Amino acid sequence: MCDYVYVRTAYRCRAYPDEQQQAALGRTFGCVRVVWNRTLAERQARWHAEHAGTSYAETDRALTAMKKDPRLAFLNQVSSVPLQQALRHQHAAFGAFFARRARYPRFKSRAGRQCAHYTRSAFSLRGGVLRLAKMVAPLRFTWTWPSIDLTALDPAMVIVAREPDGRWYVTFTVDAASEPLPETGRAVGVDLGVRDFAVTSAGGRIPNPRHLERRARNLARYQRRLARCQNGSRNRAKAKAKVARAHRKVRDARRDFLHKTSTRLVREHDIIVIEDLNVAGMVRNRRLARAVADCGWSEFRRQLEYKCRLYGRDLVVIDRWFPSSKTCSACGHVLAQLSLSTRHWTCPACRARHDRDLNAAKNILAAGRAVARGFLGDACGGDVRHAGSSRVQSPANQEPQPARTGIPALQGVE
């Protein structure tokens, strides 16, 4: 019998609210923004004055006081669930910040993406008809998953969002069961790059589509038109919407490419090994920032993580300091120096000729297999996630090892 894996899955659909619903949702977005910004400001003021943190219970009591304030009486006109969810999300955001998993929470702006989260007590989905709290008419949306029965869907949360380009979306989060995929008996090492998005240890190359670069001229033209418009004018609002639509097309194309690539790797391999890239540090280089950001490596890793957990695959993330490019995949010799412009090199020990990216992918696979077997321990690996387990081994920095001690020679690796 197969062991099913339960994960939280999201289904995002286009929504088409009428004018009254748009006005009601707009008020809800505004109230969520007010609660978030006021709570964040009070947190900061208390920290600077008393050097004391703020718990969720204290923010919840502060929300009750806000609703009693005559100047904030409009908070009582919308559902209280999205307001309470905003407090929970802010508390979680600070927890992630103090755990060094995210940056410091920022104030919300009315110009960005607006959203409201509804839990089960604030919505109903019966017979495929969605009704939200404080709304009379159902919210119309388009369901685009014909293989999934909408009438049998039991969402844990509904998220209504309005993008900067004016489009509306509704997202259903569901705790779904997934059956692990059958084993393929294959493992792959993936070396990510800019010239080629990825090079696999089997010799496959995935070209970099460069979505932003292909649409850079149109985006620059729309941004110039926006810069010439007067602040607060209707033409500026139209130009701003065109810029947002151009960014949405780039974002959707990139997301589609990453989903197709990650899904193909997960379906075809039992073990996937990648590097722990310092993407945040790379984007600080002004010469590489745009190209690195256009690749979407962080999003690619996130998709691999949840898809491996969903389909029973193993994802191994080796340490970022492992010299994958400078190590000979045939004999294990480590070069002292290897410039970024050198795409091919010959091993001085065994005279093997290497393609830089393919050699790195082979080394990544060998190091990942060694980590999974426990040969290297914490030396070169981290974030080893096995099927059906949520335990994650954090990577530990270590100096490169001498020659012939890092990885075993590859034999019959696909």
Active site residues per annotation: 191, 275, 357
Answer for the pair 352, 179: CB distance below 8 angstroms, yes or no: no
Distance CA 334, CA 347 (A): 9
CB-based contacts of 366, cutoff 8 Å, min separation 6:
189, 329, 407, 408, 409, 410, 413
Record the tokens describing residue 360, joined without a space: 């790195």
Distance CA 70, CA 90 (A): 25
The values of phi and psi at residue 7, to 5°, are -135, 160
CA dihedral sign, ordered 109, 252, 162, 119? negative
Distance CA 308, CA 78 (A): 40
Angle at 112 between CA 224 and CA 143, to 5 degrees: 110
